Structure 1
Amino acid sequence: MSNPWIAIGALALVGVLIPLGMMSVSALLRPSVPEDSKRASYESGEVPTGNTRIRFNIQYYMVALLFVVFDIETVLIFPWTVIYGDAVDAVGLGPALLPMVAFIGILAVGLAWAWRNGAVRWIRSPRAQQELTE
């Protein structure tokens, strides 16, 4: 009888040796031409203009995070609805419905908190505000 840890150890060894071997071969084969343009912030050959720090509106990220949260909610609710009928038959209405109500309640509290703190409120630009008042 063979020990299953031998297979796991061999797989781990292969998993370490293949990337190390690839990096070693690429280090030996790649051309080494040191240039000032390769040390620049942008290697494209273009001369950078202006500041590299650009201010982004955090609102895009907040909306994206909320989308991910509610997208995952949809992914979790769909299978639950598929097995809901079987679960009601097996354990009854309360035990089958309570976990999903709690899950949706927690998400509703999170959405209310985000709404209250302005995470879903868009900030209007001065130009858009001016066009709105005209």
Structure 2
Amino acid sequence: MNPWIAIGALALVGLLIPLGMMSVSALLRPTVPEDSKRATYESGEVPTGGTRMRFNIQYYMVALLFVVFDIETVLIFPWTVIYRSALEGGVGLVTVLVPMLVFIGVLVVGLAWAWRNGAVKWARSPRAEQRKGAQAER
């Protein structure tokens, strides 16, 4: 049997199941037109202000740094699992250790750069700045 037939069948099933589920839900769901369903929030709360809000970029920077260092952990874990077996298999210590040290070194340089540019420094609120200024005047 040709392996492409199995791949095509899997792709077909992967498309048909979600499309079928969406079609069945469109046929079975109740449709009750209401003005409140067109509101920004459908929770019964009366919306105040616009839907566009400005968020501090710091949230995104912290999330991005989290993802980078989370992936670092995922990549270091398999290395730690095979470290001992590689040494017992006759591979030299330098051959096993140097690539991971280079990897961690690149990440440390990236963290130092982010720290120096203020990416990990949390933004202060205006009220905190006022308190800091008042304490400095004392």
| 1:33 aligns to 2:32 (yes or no) | yes
Aligned to 2:21: 22
Distance 1:109 1:13, change over 3 A: same
Aligned to 1:111: 111
CA deviations 1:27-84 (Å, max 9, x no partner) are 2222223222222222233321122222222222222322232233233223323322
| Amino acid across the alignment from 2:38 | R
In 2, Cα distance between equivalents of 1:68 and 1:9:
34
The Cα shift of 1:105 comes to: 1.3
Unaligned 5+ runs, structure 2: none
In 2, Cα distance between equivalents of 1:101 and 1:66:
20
Q: Percent identity?
A: 80
Aligned to 1:11: 10
The Cα shift of 1:130 comes to: 2.9
Alignment of 1:1-134 (within 5 A): 2-89=1-88, 90-132=90-132, 133-134=134-135
How many residues of Structure 1 are paired with residues of Structure 2 in the alignment? 133
Q: Structure 1 length normalisation: TM-score?
A: 0.80
The Cα shift of 1:20 comes to: 2.0
Q: CA RMSD in A?
A: 2.2
| Amino acid across the alignment from 2:106 | I
In 2, Cα distance between equivalents of 1:79 and 1:13:
34
In 2, Cα distance between equivalents of 1:24 and 1:99:
51
In 2, Cα distance between equivalents of 1:68 and 1:124:
23
Answer with 88-97 or 2-11: which moved more. Answer: 2-11
